[in-house]
Amino acid sequence: MLRLQAYAKINLALKILGKRPDGFHELNSIMQSVSLCDHLTLTEQPSGIQLATTNLRLPTDRKNLAYKAAELYLNRVTRDANRVKGIKIYLEKNIPLAAGLAGGSADAAAVLFGLNQMTEPALRITRYALLEMGAEIGSDVPFCLVGGNCTVTGRGEKVARNPLHTDRFFVLVTPDVEVPTKWAYEAFDQMTNAELRITNEGRRNDLEFVVIKRYPVIQQIKDKLLELGCSYAQMSGSGPTVFGVVSDAGLGEQVVNAIKKEHQKSLLASSVSRGVEQCPSLQ
């Protein structure tokens, strides 16, 4: 049995460079892993995949990225008798759904990482192969396998760790709306070049304008975080989660307590240096 922490991510910057021939978008993003995490327990079984979760809204079949990751890994690398043949996954879901925090990708990364760890060392696939497998599942999965602070390019499959690491605190606020990622990118594609120049000038997240236009609560949260003492506030990914940067944990707790009166899904998180890791109690 292996118990893992799968960390959420925020986009400190997200620039969209254009649409690729394969239908994906060419990105240049700075991503940061944060301490908000899902917990996954992996238990080996003779065959097959079983997935149970604390969130009843989540599918428990191959529509779930964690299940998809297990299926891909088991089908691809279980020919040897000493490899894992089947897995039972218990997912304790803490990262909000469809929130711009890569919760599903983090879970998929944890399953890939965990299955590889449960395999005898001599038979494990390489880090590069694991990242390639992650890219087949979703664009954020490679980053979630690496974690920390990284520059992410391509459609998300090219991940390079940034050399400097600064511990930071973030207030995360998720309003009660869900933003379809596909819609957000399509809305961005429909903007004219003139609109892009005007609306995204000075913004670090190219998706902010189109998402805020449809969901004004995001701008309201940004303004409130700045009013409460955050030095900077921005939407993460395709939203709707907004993060505010605070100078220390004390101020962060004050901001969380104040903004929770309007938005219950608010918490203080810190930067972490990994995307997935084994729970300390079982190491």
Q: Is 169 left (phi over 0), alpha (psi -120 to 50) or beta?
A: beta
Instruction: Show the CA angle centred on residue 168, arms to residues 176 and 211, nearest 5°.
Output: 30
Long-range Cβ pairs for the range 129-135 (8 Å, 24+): 131/157, 131/159, 132/157, 133/69, 133/72, 133/73, 133/76, 134/69, 134/108, 134/109
9 is an active site residue: yes
SS3 124: coil
Rounded distance between C-alpha atoms, residue 155 and residue 49, angstroms: 29
SS3 255: helix
**Active-site position among 38, 107, 140, 206:** 140
Partner residues linked to 86 by β-bridges: 45, 48
**Tokens encoding 276:** 């997935």
Positions marked catalytic: 9, 140
